[in-house]
Amino acid sequence: MTTSNQALQQWIDEVVKLTRPERVHWCDGSDSEYQSLIEQMLETGDLISLNQETHPNCYLHRSSPSDVARVEHLTFVCTQNAEDTGPNNNWMKPAEAHTQMKALFDGCMEGRTMYVIPYCMGPIDSPYARCGVELSDSPYVAINMKLMTRMGQAALARIETEGRFVRGLHSTGDLNPDQRFIMHFPDELLIQSYGSGYGGNALLGKKCHALRIASWQASQEGWLAEHMLIVELESPEGEKHYIAAAFPSACGKTNLAMLIPPESQEGWKVRTLGDDIAWLHVDETGQLRAINPESGYFGVVPGTNKKTNRNAFDMIKHDAIYTNVAITDDNEPWWEDKEQGEPTTDWQGRPINGGNGPAAHPNSRFTVGAKQNPCYSPLADDPAGVPISAIIFGGRRRELAPLVYEAKDWNHGVLIGASVASETTAAATGKVGVTRRDPMAMKPFCGYNFADYWGHWLSFSARADKLPKIFHVNWFRQNADGKFLWPGFGENLRVLRWIIDRCEDRVSAQDTPIGYLPHADDIDIEGLGVDAETLAQLLSVDKDAWRKEMQDVAEYFEEFDRRIPELLAAEHEKVVASLK
Ligand code: GTP
Ligand code: SPV
Ligand code: MN
């Protein structure tokens, strides 16, 4: 096959010359193509068939044990000036990065097939959607891109009429962690990834395009590309609200987006629009609207069970690709806290042995098309997106951060977002459980200097008439014994209800130095098993601890030097003053 887009054809020819694949396969995105790729991967052992009676069309992929998560230390943004990428990114000069990557890609596809994967991020007919083409020697990437994006013929047709697209070149290479790089060239709308087959490193439409490159484009064009879920909440009276929430990796976005109202919250309905990424635009009426650029979920498996997330549990029983889970003796997928079955073989294919650690990798993942979600909202396909009532930031913090608080206004909300901290998780390589700053849950994903990014966020008060209110939540407060104080999951709806009531001006709040907190009476704890004392603890503001926190935030901001927006520094000073 060829394309009428000359730039695309020329780039493909260049890549073929450099990487020397044996074959080139143009992905059309059809179901039959998906099926034949699966069959081919079953033959080569790239996929293992799971129990087809209980789990029809479910397959297991085992990645290399040294390639199971994102690699932040090997991810670079390459701009002419280091200051443009900021201290929040690794930087390399574009020329140097090109030289290095060229050497790695030289002949790397010999004997392999190169897949040409045209994709569209967002509904194919949406003015907010953007296209890209990934060239990859991994059939695993091809099948995942089919589930995660609008991939194939229609995307190629849009590229051919529109002309503009992001180029992504990927090779799994030899999986040597010392020769692994995820490079971004924002000025060239180019991504190059070598040496990893893992999701966020290899499915280039996701973090690399829809967050790092897109956040940069958004800053130039007046919109936002964010690490956010999008969820619809419908009250028993039929009032609908759309909420976008940014939590760091493995901190609860998929679960909140798929929330099942508990029995006590009769009449509430929750529908999912997106579980990981939101692109936010101001429409012609001044309203902030969101689309989900993805069409599938690449979700955390461990912890998924009938009680925590019945919808996800059911969703992944058919037509799912599992990566790095364990299996039972009847060949069903298994993971920690599944609360069903017993594992016999761990994620590396070894017989279960307690000494080898968890049976499923803590960052094991499922890939499914979004339409499989029992609470899928068809509005996820609406080219206009949905109007956003509230933006929520959050983190995983065993101490300090209250269950919920509200920003006093937009600028204060930007400070709250910029101050987010969270304990690290298995979604990225490195130590787990270390509290670090993760502004707007974008630490690994903002493709340019955070100081400029906060300035861009602040600019929205002038751009939009109907800005959403901003909140912060923390589902992860613990007691001295390490037990969670808040039951979380479906019960989080009780907090979302307060948030909606605040958006509708139906409830008052306590004015504290860090923001507006609920009066204890306004959080419904009936039948929850959380006593008044615990709720008071969840809703307390420890001034000494917060003074220390604000000092920590000040030190963090110093890393950005004079580039920090004055408005942000002023917001910080206001909070410090009111804590005195
Ligand atoms: P990424 O896909 O990495 O961006 O993550 P995510 O934010 O979508 O995280 P996800 O919803 O998959 O949750 C990750 C982990 O947090 C899982 O092990 C969940 O069981 C756990 N989790 C999610 N929500 C809650 C909650 O409300 N309370 C508690 N205690 N744990 C939660
Ligand atoms: C995350 O780490 O935030 C993810 C998974 O959503 S990955 O796509 O691998 O980055
Ligand atoms: Mn994510």
Residue in 120, 251, 446, 503 annotated catalytic: 251
CA of 501 to the centre of ligand 1 (A): 25
d(CA 30, CA 142): 12
Residues 6+ apart with CB under 8 A from 57: 38, 318, 319, 320
Q: Give the containing element (helix H, strand E) for 503.
A: helix 493-503
Q: Which of 372, 395, 426 is the last residue of a domain?
A: 372
Question: How do the residues of the chain divide into helix, strand and coil, expressed in percent and rounded to 5?
Answer: 35, 25, 40
Q: How confident is the model at residue 395 (pLDDT cuts 50, 70, 90)?
A: very high
Annotated active-site residue 251? The verdict is yes
**Is the model's pLDDT at 389 over the cut of 90?**
yes
Residues in contact with ligand 2 (CB, 6 Å cut-off): 70, 199-200, 206-207, 249, 276, 298, 427
Give the CATH number, domain containing residue 339.
2.170.8.10
Considering 205, 221, 237, which residue would you say is the last residue of a domain? 221
- Overall number of domains in the chain: 3
Max Cα–Cα distance, the chain, nearest Å: 68
Closest-CA residue to 244 (of 381, 142, 385, 343)? 385
Burial of 342 (0-12, 13-18, 19+ CB in 10 A): exposed
Q: How far apart are CA 487 and CA 255, in angstroms?
A: 13
What does the H/E/C string look like for 353-380?
A: CHHHCCCCCCCCEEEEEHHHCCCECHHH
Question: What integer is the mean pLDDT of 141-147?
Answer: 98
Q: What pLDDT score was predicted for residue 2?
A: 86
Q: Could you say which ligand is closest to the alpha carbon of residue 254?
A: 1
Choose one of 167, 190, 221: the last residue of a domain: 221
- Residue ranges near ligand 3 (ion) with Cβ within 5 Å: 249, 276
Q: Whose CA is nearest to atom 15 of ligand 1?
A: 250
| pLDDT, tens only, 316-347 | 999 999 999 999 999 999 999 999 999 999 99
Are 450 and 532 in the same domain? Answer: yes
Query: What is the domain-level CATH number for residue 258?
Result: 3.90.228.20
Q: Angle at Cα 222 formed by Cα 219 and Cα 227, nearest 5°?
A: 60
Q: How confident is the model at residue 447 (pLDDT cuts 50, 70, 90)?
A: very high
What are the strands of the beta sheet with 48-49, ordered from one edge?
A: 48-49, 59-61, 321-323, 365-369, 296-300
The answer as to whether 58 is a domain residue is: no
pLDDT score recorded for residue 112: 98
> Would 77 be classed as within a structural domain?
yes
Domain contains 51: no
Q: pTM score, two decimals? A: 0.98
pLDDT of residue 285: 95
Residue 8, amino acid? L
Neighbours of 409 (CB within 10 A): 13
Ligand with minimal distance to 226 CA: 3
Could you list the residue range(s) of the whole structural domain that residue 442 is in? 226-295+380-579
Convert the pLDDT of each residue in 244-287 to its tens digit: 999 999 999 999 999 999 999 999 999 999 999 999 999 999 99
